[in-house]
Homo-oligomer: A and B are copies of this chain.
Amino acid sequence: MSDHPGTIEIRLPSQLRFLGVVDALVQSFSAEFGLGADEINNVSTATIEAASNAVEHANKFSENKQVLLRLRGRGNVVEVEIEDEGEGFDPRPYERELGTEDLLKLRGRGIFIMRSFMDNVSFSRLSSGGMRVHLRKVGKTTAGESDTQDAVRGN
């Protein structure tokens, strides 16, 4: 949990079966930058939502298309970018709270969940036409701080 920044890039096939790998990856990456357990779960859940959308709505499960994840950590800030090879979309209609009329709907919660669980969510269009979702989380839990008071720390 040093202060060195670091970026990891992952390319995944457009298959939902790899969302478990995304979860493991984001969890361990976020832990490395000192986020607490709840924060880690939230970053991972938001990333899974964005990656699900990239696989399903953008790449439409195509064997020829990939999802790119970029994980960036610095200090106690974790950022995730999810890029797809779809045709892009206008996210503005989905920038809203869910009402009681939405309660029993089967779909339409993904972007809302991202916004709820992250400090910052933004969408941009890639020059290739696809979307980039940018997620940002600042760790508030000073994880393991009291924990290390009388312990010495290496890597």
Contact = CB atoms under 8 A, between A and B. Distances in A.
Interface of A: 2, 4, 6-13, 15-18, 20-21, 23-25, 27-29, 31-32, 155
A54 to B, nearest CB: 14
Contact of A10 (B8, B15, B20): B8
A65 to B, nearest CB: 13
Nearest to A68: B9
| This chain: copies in complex | 2
Nearest to A2: B17
A17 B153 CA distance: 13
Of listed A9, A21, A25, residue having the most chain B CB within 10 A: A21
Contacts of A6: 13, 15, 17-18
Given A24-B24, A27-B24, A28-B23, A18 B8 contact: yes
Nearest to A19: B155
A23 B18 CA distance: 16
Given A6-B13, A8-B11, A8-B12, 13 more contacts: A4-B15, A4-B17, A6-B15, A6-B17, A8-B10, A8-B13, A8-B21, A9-B10, A10-B10, A21-B28, A21-B29, A25-B25, A25-B28
